[in-house]
């Protein structure tokens, strides 16, 4: 336990400082005396999460924020912003051109294409490499009648693949990437030193701090989306098993990991009409996510203070909001938390430029679809997408990736642009070397180094 606490405090180093300590900058470490103050408070928070006590978790977080002082909410790494800042509505034809480039690459690199037999020993990425494309293709299947059949076929291919690799306990596991991935290999080795039993038949089936919620959440949601477009009950049943696995797991000290399960539980509840799963999502959100949010809308710990993880958290919150009845007692409070979170992200983007424009494009697109027009959010979304369009000419531009599908859906729902000219869809053309270049992959792949951490100390 002492080692876990000390490692947690080291990570807090990006977020704590004394008044007369070093200048507060992203990635800066706090003075030792602040770390010492935080140590017992972290233990209190862990105990609260273990028993799922909302009030004590919030109390522990408030005390941590007080101890951190002005370093609360300081991200562990400096954001990368893209210049120029272009606030006008993106050109819809350029948006669809970018999607077609991404579509071609996604079809080639989806996990069911690169590793069709589902052998974990041949994988170079987790099952998110199937789940995210399924979600994107499901969105695209609803946008244009003449491409619906093709996209539904892609959804089925990905969903059937996920059915094959799901464990009997419901988990979508993570492949053993030792000696096959420069980052994940050492991480898996570290996990297996502590939990050698976590490796079964080439799959990692356990974690140290809720890491498995990431791929499990994405894949479970992908199966729900597959059910929505195909009405195949096997997909919904698979998603339910993933939910059951998630409900039995302890809450993580990493808010965004819990948010993956919140997203899954709420999405399944909305599709399956199962109140008990929505109740579980609400409880997990109240205890395992919201206590870490500060009044300004940001999460206090340095990891989740980064926009990419901020977006992951907000996505789960939005899904719960959509699933709640209009008269639900939690709905108004949740909307307030969402508004603060979205406003904070929008302000940061408008002031500095596009950053982490994968998950933030996703949440602004979804929030505007749910809540309706909001000038601040629309401007931030425009900045993100305009910067993402530059990737066709500038490889330094931020990558929206297949999260662009959410923006396409928002365009159609809001009437912001034409529903698209997808005639001559990518699969019917000769597959050529993408002009985007090798740098562009699924947006989640360039975030991989932070999204699957087999470490015991993820903050708070």
- Answer yes or no: is 349 within a domain: yes
50 in the same domain as 102: no
Domain count for the chain, please give it: 2
So what's the pLDDT on residue 36? Answer: 85
157 in the same domain as 14: no
Can you say whether the dihedral through the CA atoms of 166, 172, 177, 182 is positive or negative? positive
419 in the same domain as 285: yes
192 in the same domain as 67: no
252 in the same domain as 157: yes
45 in the same domain as 112: no
pTM confidence score? 0.88
293 in the same domain as 244: yes
- Answer yes or no: is 84 within a domain: no
So what's the pLDDT on residue 34? Answer: 79
Domain range for 13: 2-71
CATH label of the domain that carries residue 117: 1.50.10.10
380 in the same domain as 433: yes
- Answer yes or no: is 81 within a domain: no
So what's the pLDDT on residue 22? Answer: 66
- Answer yes or no: is 77 within a domain: no
Beta bridge partners of 82: 354
188 in the same domain as 321: yes
Residues of the chain with pLDDT under 50: 1-19, 419-460
254 in the same domain as 301: yes
- Answer yes or no: is 82 within a domain: no
102 in the same domain as 14: no
- Answer yes or no: is 460 within a domain: no
> Which of 15, 41, 71 represents a domain boundary (last residue)?
71
> Which of 15, 42, 71 represents a domain boundary (last residue)?
71
- Answer yes or no: is 87 within a domain: no
61 in the same domain as 106: no
> Which of 37, 71, 105 represents a domain boundary (last residue)?
71
- Answer yes or no: is 85 within a domain: no
């Amino acid at each position: 336990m002492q080692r876990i606490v000390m490692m947690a405090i080291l990570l807090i180093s990006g977020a704590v400082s004394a008044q007369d300590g070093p200048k507060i900058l992203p990635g800066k470490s706090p003075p030792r005396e602040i770390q010492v103050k935080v140590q017992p408070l972290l233990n209190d928070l862990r105990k609260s999460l273990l028993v799922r006590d909302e009030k004590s978790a919030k109390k522990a977080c408030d005390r941590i924020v007080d101890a951190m002082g002005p370093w609360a909410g300081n991200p562990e790494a400096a954001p990368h912003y893209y210049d120029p800042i272009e606030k006008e509505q993106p050109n819809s034809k350029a948006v669809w051109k970018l999607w077609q480039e991404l579509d071609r690459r996604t079809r080639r690199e989806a996990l069911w294409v690169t590793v069709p037999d589902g052998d974990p020993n041949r994988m170079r990425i987790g099952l998110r490499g199937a789940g995210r494309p399924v979600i994107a293709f499901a969105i695209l299947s609803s946008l244009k009648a003449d491409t619906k059949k093709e996209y539904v076929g892609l959804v089925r291919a990905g969903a059937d693949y996920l059915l094959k690799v799901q464990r009997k306990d419901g988990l979508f596991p993570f492949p053993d990437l030792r000696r096959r991935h420069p980052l994940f290999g050492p991480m898996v080795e570290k996990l297996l030193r502590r939990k050698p039993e976590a490796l079964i038949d080439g799959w990692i089936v356990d974690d140290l701090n809720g890491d498995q919620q990431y791929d499990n959440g994405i894949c479970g949601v992908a199966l729900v989306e597959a059910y929505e477009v195909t009405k195949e009950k096997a997909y919904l049943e698979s998603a339910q098993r993933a939910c059951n696995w998630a409900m039995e797991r302890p809450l993580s000290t990493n808010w965004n990991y819990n948010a993956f399960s919140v997203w899954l539980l709420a999405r399944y509840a909305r599709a399956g009409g199962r109140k008990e799963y929505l109740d579980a999502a609400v409880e997990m959100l109240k205890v395992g996510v919201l206590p870490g949010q500060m009044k300004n809308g940001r999460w206090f710990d340095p990891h989740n203070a980064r926009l990419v993880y901020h977006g992951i958290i907000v996505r789960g919150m939005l899904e719960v909001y959509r699933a709640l009845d209009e008269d639900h007692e939690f709905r108004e409070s949740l909307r307030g938390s969402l508004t603060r979170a979205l406003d904070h992200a929008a302000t940061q983007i408008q002031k500095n430029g596009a950053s982490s424009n994968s998950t933030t494009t996703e949440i602004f697109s979804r929030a505007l679809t749910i809540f309706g027009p909001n000038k601040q959010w629309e401007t931030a979304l425009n900045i993100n997408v305009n910067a993402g369009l530059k990737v066709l000419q500038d490889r330094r531009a931020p990558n929206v990736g297949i999260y662009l599908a959410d923006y396409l859906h928002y365009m159609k729902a809001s009437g912001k642009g034409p529903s698209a000219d997808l005639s001559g869809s990518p699969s019917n053309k000769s597959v050529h070397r993408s002009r985007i270049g090798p740098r562009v992959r699924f947006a989640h792949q360039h975030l991989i180094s932070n999204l699957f951490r087999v470490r015991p100390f993820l903050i708070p």
